[in-house]
Structure 1
Amino acid sequence: MENLSANNLYSFYGKSPVLQGVSFDLKPGEFLSVLGRNGVGKTTLLKSIMGLTDSCKGDLQFGGSDLLKCSTPQRALQGIGYIPQGREIIPRFTVRENILMGTFARADGKREIPDYLFDMFPILRDFISRKGGDLSGGQQQQLAIARALAMDPKILMLDEPTEGIQPNIVKQIEDAIIQLNRERGLGIILVEQNVPFARAASDRFLVLDKGRVVLGGTSAELTDAVVEEHLTF
Structure 2
Amino acid sequence: MLHAENLFSYYGKSPILQDVSFSLKAGEFLSVLGRNGVGKTTLLKTIMGLTDRCEGRLEFDGADISGRSTPERARLGIGYIPQGREIIPRFTVEENIIMGCYARTDGKREIPDYLFEMFPILREFLTRRGGDLSGGQQQQLAIARALAMDPKILILDEPTEGIQPNIVRQIEDAIVHLNRERGLAVILVEQNIPFARKASDRFVVLDKGAVAMAGHKDELTDAVVEKHMTF
Please give the range of the TM-score, normalised by the shorter of the 2 chains: over 0.9
In the alignment, what sits opposite 1:170? 168
- 2:192 and 2:58 map into 1 onto residues whose CA distance is 27
1:105 is matched with 103
CA deviations over 1:193-216 (Å, ceiling 9, x no partner) = 000000000000000000000101
Q: Name the residue aligned to 1:75.
A: 73
**Shift in Å at residue 97 of structure 1?**
0.2
Matches of 2:57 and 2:83, distance apart in 1: 25
Q: What CA distance in whole angstroms lies between the structure 2 residues aligned with 1:57 and 1:194?
A: 30
What displacement does 1:167 show? 0.1
- Once the two structures are superposed, the pairs formed by residues 152-171 of structure 1 within 5 Å of their partners are 152-171=150-169
Indicate the SS of the match to 1:75. Answer: helix
What amino acid is aligned across from residue 205 of structure 1 in structure 2?
F
1:190 aligned partner:
188
Number of residue pairs the alignment of both structures matches: 231
Matched with 2:50 is 52
1:64 CA drift (Å): 2.1
Task: List per-residue Cα deviations over 1:43-94 (Å, max 9, x = no partner).
Answer: 0000000000000010000012211111100000000000000000000000
Q: Aligned runs of 1:11-160 on 2, under 5 Å?
A: 11-160=9-158
Superposition RMSD in Å? 0.4
User: Which of residues 205, 208, 223 is equivalent to 2:206?
Assistant: 208
- Equivalent in the alignment of 2:178: 180
TM-score by length of 2: 0.99
**Percent of aligned positions that are identical:** 78
1:89-113, Cα deviation, whole Å (9 max, x unpaired): 0000000000000000011111010
Structure 2: where are the runs of 5+ without partners? none
2:146 match: secondary structure: helix
Distance between the aligned counterparts of 1:109 and 1:158, measured in 2? 25
In the aligned structure 1, how far is the partner of 2:160 from the partner of 2:62? 33
SS of the aligned residue for 2:56 comes to strand
Secondary structure at the aligned position of 1:59 is classed as strand
Give the Cα–Cα distance (whole angstroms) in 1 for the partners of residues 127 and 181 of structure 2. 29
Give SS of 1:144's match: helix
What are the Cα deviations for residues 97-146 of structure 1, in whole angstroms up to 9, with x where unaligned? 00000000011111010000000000000000000000000000000000
Task: Find the counterpart in structure 2 of residue 229 from structure 1.
Answer: 227
Distance 1:167 1:21 in 2: 37
Distance across 1 between alignment mates of 2:181 and 2:77 = 18
- The CA distance in 1 between the partners of 2:172 and 2:148, in whole Å, is 19
| CA distance in 2 between partners of 1:228 and 1:15 (Å) | 32
The 1-side partners of 2:108 and 2:100 are apart by: 10
SS at match of 2:66: helix
Distance 2:102 2:137 in 1: 22
